[in-house]
Structure 1
């Protein structure tokens, strides 16, 4: 097995693409971030990568209009998908974003983990639930980050996490739920570890391939 360690802090911006046809070659491992346009997705990405401006933060929800690609290491990428739901933009633009998001999820074979971000005060809206259910049906592991947990007391935040876990338990899928705060870095260590473990599969796959090759 590979002994190399994944460091999200090494993430660098690669490209913004309007659709999957403009993305890098569909190889290696990708972990995608998805959520409603007011869920704090950009802040979470910056926190998890220990960078202040890797992902652009706007006071206007819905700024992520393209599929943004960040390279962490060789064959290891983080994908920032277009936000959905809340954004006050023309309907045609929303449809364009949704098409790009849907195509990526359905056709990108290098996708190995999905981080779904939801405001802890308003979790599991219809689009959130639909996305998680799709991932469960596709045997894709999910990390549900309940963002902005600093807006609630520790007890209230823990209660919300339990409610979401219970609501998703019937899916019988690899779904982990945790509170997260970009401001206070709540949940940083565990979320970082899960994502790094997903990305490390790229190195493990290379090792297995090497071991399978016949000796010269």
Structure 2
């Protein structure tokens, strides 16, 4: 992840909600079994808007050497989300290069993509550890509820020297572009949902 502290994810929630309202969408809570969370996330996304057939249709996993950061950037640049400005894309050079995606439809949420070995890591910043009132209680709650956030994991790491919570997902470098797009969109959705669900554990004034 880029070594610059990002805006707290709770700030993205407000912008995301406003954008959803502007599009005429409404929020509906549903009760399901935890094992159906990934399926529900896919259905919700499909019911919002049509996607490019190349992005939405299942496809065989990529054969051959697999994805690299340059080939991921090239492929993402061809998607409708990048072409229409819903996602802004840039490469961050350095010892560990990554892609930086700004998710316009998710309150300018920043997502980072890195490739290491046979894995693609898709990651987003949540909030600094210092914003959590009781880290021990919060960590226990996260462990008890993580199944409600399909395909994503919450971790603690140092960002620009600041201990922070992040959320990430991973997939094989031979995965299809459709699966990569689904991973990106699911992570963005999960960041928004986590910011709502875990707001009571954050200091007053950091959510709303």
Same fold (TM over 0.5): no
Higher relative contact order (CA 8 A, sep 6+): 2
Structure 1-normalised TM-score? 0.30
